[in-house]
Amino acid sequence: MAHTPSNSRYNNMKYNRCGKSGLKLPAISLGLWHNFGGVDTLENQKRLITTSFDLGITHFDLANNYGPPPGSAEENFGRILHSELSGYRDELVISTKAGYGMWPGPYGDWGSRKYLISSLDQSLKRMNLDYVDIFYSHRPDPNTPVEETMMALDQVVRQGKALYVGISNYSAEQTEKASKILKELGTPCLIHQPRYSMFDRWIEDGLQEVLEEEGIGSIAFCPLAQGLLTNKYVNGVPQDSRAANPTSPFLNSDAITAEKVEKIKKLNDIAQNRNQSLAQMSLAWVLRNGKVTSALIGASKTSQIIENVQVVNNLDFSEEELRLIDEITK
């Protein structure tokens, strides 16, 4: 039986306008980078997605290569969308991306028009959708003219395969150039998806200024530094954590030094004084000045989603809190 969404799903979530567009995104969005692949439990995936929607999370972020195996996150999301939320497509913002290796040969990677458009066609089939709301160039391609990549993004909007387009992992200079091309084509860049957290602040060195000047929104991925900015690592590396898994390509125990743990403990003290968990404070910090439209979380348990959405109840910081956080993390 299909899921019946909560009637109160819009009561507490905060929605922010994305750049200068007409689109609003929830302050917290759900990313399907981990825990939604073919190796994961479909029933848990259903719980994660339906719980998110019940709490006002309307934006679900995917990419062609999310899994494992690549493509399976889109397939699973498509199954869940049509079995649990089939009557609610117009209440959802669904995004996907292309830019990393997806199939063998010279046409399955990077940023050519052939790859991007072929990849989106495949993504739509996997999710059984007529269109996505946002389609991204997942990373800049040093060997393809940016004009070609942006023309492909413009083309998929004109074909009705995407409502908006965005870019991810582009530098400030690359973003400015891409934005100007898209404006000339008549399809403005809606959004940029960069990595951003208290431990990774590179976007403050020019990119945020470009986004503001160009009227582009932003959605931060890894705002919890892959779990480092949660209570999980306050007392070291737990055995069931991602960092304890020697096969994890993204985070391992070597990254969790004594110095890092000491910083996490100090940040956790500030969070406790704010009556927040460290995860909640870390998300609030990313959203603190209105420059970031949405923070993109991952989840393996519904309890994590329930905890994280409560951040909207306390997004303000005192000058002293911000000074202490800067002192610890810079």
The pLDDT value recorded for residue 240 is: 60
Of 33, 102, 110, 39, nearest in space to 70 by CA: 102
* pLDDT (0 to 100) of residue 256: 83
pLDDT (mean) for 50-54: 98
pLDDT of residue 1: 86
C-alpha to C-alpha distances, 87 to 43, 164, 289, nearest whole angstrom: 20, 22, 35
pLDDT-derived band at 239, boundaries 50, 70, 90: low
- Judge whether residue 167 has pLDDT over 80: yes
Statement: residue 244 has pLDDT above 70: no
Model confidence pLDDT, tens digit, residues 294-323: 999 999 999 999 999 999 999 999 999 999
Answer for the pair 6, 306: CB distance below 8 angstroms, yes or no: no
What residue spans define the domains of the chain?
Answer: 15-231+278-316
Residue 250 has pLDDT above 80, yes or no: no
How many Cα atoms within 13 Å fall on the side-chain side of residue 100? 12
Strands 59-61 and 28-31: parallel
Question: Does the pLDDT value for residue 100 go beyond 90?
Answer: yes
Instruction: In whole angstroms, give the CA distance from residue 157 to residue 122.
Output: 16
pTM above 0.75, yes or no: yes
Mean pLDDT of 70-87: 98
Residue 199 CA neighbour count, 13 Å, CB half = 20
**107-145 residue pLDDT tens:** 999 999 999 999 999 999 999 999 999 999 999 999 999
* Strand-pair category, 189-193 with 162-168: parallel
Top-level CATH class of 15-231+278-316?
alpha beta
- DSSP letter (8 states) at residue 139: S
